[in-house]
């Protein structure tokens, strides 16, 4: 995901870089832009194609929302599913924008610590983040303009730190993304791809950036040599690759025997890369499976019953059961 970024270029520099005809706000250097704040957004007018630089709230509030608080959860839109989700599918066809930036932060989790890493283009060059915008009418009749940043799978530089990254548009793709007359969604979705890792830089930064209230140039200053940071990222990538190759730890215990002699087992065979665990419960006698896997419920709860026969096992449960049987634990 993208939860913080920087923009320390001037209004004139942003206007020249993105061809803005009318700037409706004056920019000041910002080194820790956070959700719920007013952020600079570039939009394009439909009739004459004029580009505007305006201030929108970061956290998209769909036009149909009953409450503006929904924007707190919609700071990012996943490129893979944005054209399907109700909150974004209208905007991706008609209300696209560019959020100017010159760097962004991601955090690497190591045990109980979150280590901030700053990513940017060489020499701190300006770039455009793909975004969506909406307008929502408040109860008093005023209009709230809000936006969300598109994210995609991380490239090789960002992936050891975070599996997602913001969509950085190539300069040649910016016109197609901004043009509101372009409603070819499949073509637009192809623009939302990871930025080349060899055109980016990264370095470790201070923990000061962890606080959204701290906005100072020291947020983006390196605390270690850039080459040392790259070595650390490479080591993290190697460790992650090694962990993904290791066999999953299996721990099966008998939970209880229900009336009728049906024996239930609970397995903790699977731990996702983000640390989320799920605990499928398998009825060996008659076959129904109960699974509290978040992905399982999210994908199937609206379409399938809560009790699954072997024909409808989710892949996580099926793998867990197969592992247990292979090792003689069931």
What pLDDT digit, counting tens, does each position of 307-317 carry?
Answer: 333 434 445 55
Best CA proximity match to 34, nearest among 11, 17, 58: 58
Asked if residues 140 and 40 have their Cβ atoms less than 8 Å apart, the reply is no
- The Cα–Cα gap between 105 and 32 comes to 9
- The Cα–Cα gap between 259 and 23 comes to 73
List, by residue number, the catalytic residues: 2, 106
Domains and CATH numbers, the chain: 4-241 (3.90.1680.10), 252-326 (no CATH)
Asked if residues 15 and 126 have their Cβ atoms less than 8 Å apart, the reply is no
| pLDDT band, very low/low/confident/very high, at 117 (cuts 50, 70, 90) | very high
Phi, psi of 294 (to 5 degrees): -55, -45
- pTM exceeds 0.85, yes or no: no
Helix extents (H) in 9-139:
11-18, 89-94
Asked if residues 210 and 117 have their Cβ atoms less than 8 Å apart, the reply is no
Q: Is the pLDDT of residue 153 over 80?
A: yes
Summarised one tens digit per residue, pLDDT across range 28-58 is 999 999 999 999 999 999 989 999 999 999 9
Q: What is the DSSP string of 169-234?
A: EPGGGHHHHH-TT---HHHHHTT--PPPGGG-EEEEB-GGGGSTT---GGGGSBSS-HHHHHHHHH
Mean pLDDT for the stretch of residues 276-297: 43
Q: What is the pLDDT of residue 64?
A: 93
């Amino acid at each position: 995901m993208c939860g913080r970024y920087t923009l320390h270029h001037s209004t004139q520099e942003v206007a020249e870089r993105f061809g803005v005809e009318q700037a409706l706000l004056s920019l000041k250097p910002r080194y820790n832009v956070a959700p719920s704040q007013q952020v600079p957004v570039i939009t394009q007018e439909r009739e004459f194609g004029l580009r505007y630089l305006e201030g929108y709230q970061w956290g998209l509030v769909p036009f149909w929302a009953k409450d503006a608080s929904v924007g707190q959860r919609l700071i990012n839109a996943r490129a893979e599913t944005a054209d399907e989700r109700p909150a974004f599918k209208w905007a991706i066809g008609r209300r696209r924008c560019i959020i100017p930036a010159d760097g962004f932060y991601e955090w690497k989790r190591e045990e109980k610590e979150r280590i901030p890493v700053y990513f940017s283009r060489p020499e701190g060059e300006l770039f455009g983040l793909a975004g969506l915008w909406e307008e929502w009418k408040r109860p008093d009749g005023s209009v709230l303009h809000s936006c969300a940043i598109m994210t995609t799978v991380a490239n090789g530089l960002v992936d050891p730190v975070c599996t997602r990254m913001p969509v950085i548009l190539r300069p040649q793709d910016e016109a197609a993304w901004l043009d509101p007359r372009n409603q070819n969604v499949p073509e637009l979705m192809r623009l939302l791809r990871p930025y080349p890792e060899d055109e980016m830089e990264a370095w470790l930064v201070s923990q000061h950036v962890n606080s959204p209230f701290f906005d100072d140039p020291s947020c983006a200053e390196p605390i270690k040599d850039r080459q040392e940071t790259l070595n650390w990222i490479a080591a993290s990538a190697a460790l992650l690759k090694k962990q993904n190759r290791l066999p999953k730890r299996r721990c099966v215990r008998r939970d209880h025997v229900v009336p009728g002699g049906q024996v239930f087992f609970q397995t903790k065979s699977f731990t996702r890369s983000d640390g989320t665990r799920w605990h499928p419960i398998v009825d060996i006698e008659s076959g129904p499976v109960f699974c509290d896997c978040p992905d399982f419920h999210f994908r199937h709860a609206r379409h399938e019953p809560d009790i699954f026969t072997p024909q409808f096992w989710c892949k996580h449960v099926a793998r867990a059961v197969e592992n247990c049987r292979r090792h003689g634990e069931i």
